Structure 1
Amino acid sequence: MATHPDNLRARLEDRADLLEATRLRYRALRGMLDAFFWKDRVRAHFELLREVAQVQPEVEVALAALKRRATAEGWPHHAAPMKLMAEVERLREAVLHLALKRLPEAERPETLGEALLKLEEVVLEAGPLLGRRTWARAVELLPRNLPELRAACAAAEVFERVFKRPAPEVVLPFSVSEADELRRALPLAESALAALWRRLEHFDTSGRVKEFLERRAPRAPLQVPRSGPELLLHAAFWHGVARARLRALLETRLAPVVPREAEVPELLVWLAVREGAAPGEAREARLEACEAFSDARAGLFELAAELAALSRERPSGAWNEETAWARLWSAAQRARGEEGPDVERLRDALRLFILLRGQEQTPARLFSPARARPPAADVGADVKDLAALVHAARASASRRT
């Protein structure tokens, strides 16, 4: 049964809004590409160009689905939805023809979306006009709807929310849920910002735009970002703040082990769980192996965290010395097989404890030189195994003076 023309728009649902918006975009693009100074027009509307290219697959799917439905249900040709679809298809062909006409013959793709993105590259590689200023060139090179720019801004929103508020001196400045957000935001920001800087290098052969933006990136944003370069500077600033703050936090909690860049995101949730649990439960959080580090290196982080926590401050509440030494020994056992500068620094830290052995039942300030008493012999001098060094440190701590 044929559908009444008055009900056809309702049958289109949200596809009607998509097609009407596409019709307006196609009309604007057709006028831009058909102009005598078409490069100037395109250069001023890169965001429109990208918006059409990004939504084009969805438009093609919508047109194909509606044409099948119109055929199956016998929609009349004079109905408004049918006229809308016909005009959108006609404009699409006109825009595709003009886009291909502006491209070199050897670089003409088959689809409209690919042609528009290629057209953007052609205009950007042509360079700016004489007298164009650096900031205007930056706006050209960084349209606000770049996918990489959107990703960088999404990550920066997390960094700003977590690190803009006043930071406590002792505890971590984020919760477990926020640590998980940071875990996902850090690699997202790294890859997105790297792609944006590469884009600037590719299209701005003089290097002036990238140099100009890199000089401004460390400055705190003073206003709400609106243009593409402002969004990049905002994201780069808060990414730098996040990296600096996290580097300081990890140094106090994992020294002398220095995490690699790829390991930092995976350590955040573990540290938040470790410090956020109830007393007596926090230290039981186990760091699982993952793609960033092996099981042995996870044990190395656990051992470093135990040593750093005991040397940083006196434990509060109930504290079991034997349990603490058991955790140290278990982490050292797990770290067997790991080698490198981090392992050697941990060995030196344990040897230092043996040299500055503490008194029995006194867990605070394990490495305090004020409590040093020269031992009869350097117990850990020739010992390489971390578990053996922990055992020697335990024996040194238990030795009565």
Structure 2
Amino acid sequence: MATHPDILRARLEDRADLLEASRLRYRALQGMLQAFFWRDRVRANLELLREVAQAEPEVVATLAAVERRAAAEGWPRGSAPVKLFTEVGHLREAVAVAVARRLASAAAAPGTLSEALLRLEEEVLATGPLLGRRAWARAVEVLPRNLPELRAACVSAEVFERVFKRPTPEGVLPFNPAEAEELCRALPLAEAALLALWERLERFDESGRVRTFLERRVRRAPQRVPRSGPELLLHAAFWQDVARARLGALMEARLAPVVPREAEVPQLLVWLAAREGSPEARLTAGEAFGEGRAGLFELALELALLSRARPVGVWNEEAAWVRLWTAAQRAREETGPDVERLREALRLFILLRGQARTPARLFSPERAAVAAHEVSAEVTDLPGLVQAARAAASRASG
């Protein structure tokens, strides 16, 4: 008894949609490669070429799986699924032959159709348009919307826009712990993706006019939903700049005078968000920084908080000084410019606490009425300076 075509199609499950989409892509690509002005047609449809290249591994696996199943279950040759499977296989072979013929160096042709298509894309872009193009049209050619790097940059930009577009009260973190985790992943992803995109522009535009053209527009706020590849790049680059500026100001306000390195920022964001909810949250050493530098960040944050306002309640004040002392002990072996700046900040804290009754506009370090031993040049270690700071604060409050 013959099997109904609908039943055979149901056996393909979601593979039928993939094969039908592949049939349409292969037909279109074969027509472009066989045209007289094939380079211009391929250059205008690089997104289609990339779609075929990206789907190639899945298409190959699907064709092999369907062939095995059809042979095992004895599917009729005239059934719709078998015809679809056969046609897609023939079209794929025709596209592979056409691509190999269009490649400049047939001897060094890549082993798979996916690699051959990407090689063909590079050769087409490297030759440039026959009669020249304007900068924007050239950017559209070089940056098809389905570039993996462009997708990664857009995913990161969505996080930046969602977090930093909304208004935030002064002194409050613009993100919660969950969003801090998202930023932690998005920051390095955006950096790598945008770097790859700018390098791609340089590789296929030796004159540099396209990159210069786009860089002049990076700081303009997007006015509409991005659609083309260059618009997506500008949108992602704009929100990356916004994120950098906002995070730089945030780090300076909370961690000055210690200056975080770029690789340290993602992990610091997660800690600052956790610290907002729990003052006892500690910064864990990791790949970005070691134990001593983690202590420097903790010390800088605690000192900044104590400099702004005295904790409310005896217990809270005692806990704050314990955290400051613990951080100083953790960072006591650290050296470098950040440590020197932190020592100067502690000395200034001591002098300011010694002038508790002097208006800030009249204060100067030379007029500070603080015992010499509290800010002696001999006291250079961070724990010693923390002890002197606590003594000065106790005297001022008394």
In structure 1, what is the Cα distance between the partners aligned to 2:265 and 2:25?
A: 44
1:342-361 alignment runs, 5 A limit: 342-358=338-354
Q: Is this contact kept in 2: 1:310–1:366, CA < 8 A? A: no
Conservation of the 8 A alpha-carbon contact between 1:221 and 1:234: yes
CA distance in 2 between counterparts of 1:377 and 1:356 reads: 14
Letter in 1 for 2:324: L
- In structure 2, give the amino acid aligned to 1:270: W
TM-score by length of 1: 0.93
Query: Which SS does the other structure have where 1:357 is aligned?
Result: helix
- AA of the residue aligned to 2:26: Y
1:377 matched to which residue of 2? Answer: 372
Unaligned 5+ residue runs, structure 1? none
What residue in structure 2 maps to residue 155 of structure 1?
156
Give the Cα separation in 2 of the matches to 1:346 and 1:218: 34
Question: In the alignment, which residue of structure 2 is the partner of 1:326?
Answer: 322
Going from structure 1 to structure 2, the CA distance change for 1:395 and 1:308 (only over 3 Å counts) comes to same
| Residue 168 of structure 1: aligned partner | 169
The C-alpha deviation readout for 1:101-158, integer Å capped at 9, x for no partner, is 0112243112111111000000000012324111000000000000000000000001
The structure whose residues are more often helix, as a share, is 2
Match of 1:265 in 2: 266
Counterparts of 2:170 and 2:23, CA distance in 1: 57
CA displacement at 1:357 relative to structure 2: 3.0
**2:83 equivalent in structure 1:** 83
- Secondary structure of 2:353 counterpart: coil
User: Map of 1:1-400 to 2, 5 A cutoff?
Assistant: 3-103=3-103, 104-275=105-276, 277=277, 282-316=278-312, 320-358=316-354, 369=363, 373-377=368-372, 379-399=375-395
Structure 1 CA distance for aligned equivalents of residues 301 and 240 of structure 2: 25
Taking only aligned residues, the RMSD between alpha carbons, in angstroms, comes to 2.2
Give me the whole-angstrom Cα distance separating, in 2, the residues matched to 1:368 and 1:53: 71
Distance 1:20 1:322, change over 3 A: same
Q: Partners of 1:381 and 1:106 in 2: how far apart? A: 74
- Maintained 8 Å contact 1:139/1:228: yes
| CA distance 1:380–1:51, change in 2 (3 Å) | farther
Counterpart-to-counterpart distance in 2, 1:156 and 1:252: 24
Aligned sequence identity (%): 72
Structure 1 pair 58–81 and aligned structure 2 pair: CA distance change class (3 A)? same
On the 8 A contact 1:30/1:98 being kept in 2, the answer is yes
Work out the number of aligned pairs and report it. 393
Q: 1:43 touches 1:140 (CA, 8 Å); kept in 2?
A: yes
Report if the CA contact (8 A) 1:356-1:367 is conserved. Answer: no
The whole-number CA distance in structure 1 between the counterparts of 2:361 and 2:387 is 17
Residue 107 of structure 1 aligns to a residue in which SS?
Answer: coil
- Per the TM alignment, residue 370 of structure 1 is displaced from its structure 2 partner at its CA by 7.7
SS in 1 for 2:233: helix
Q: Which amino acid aligns with 1:36?
A: F
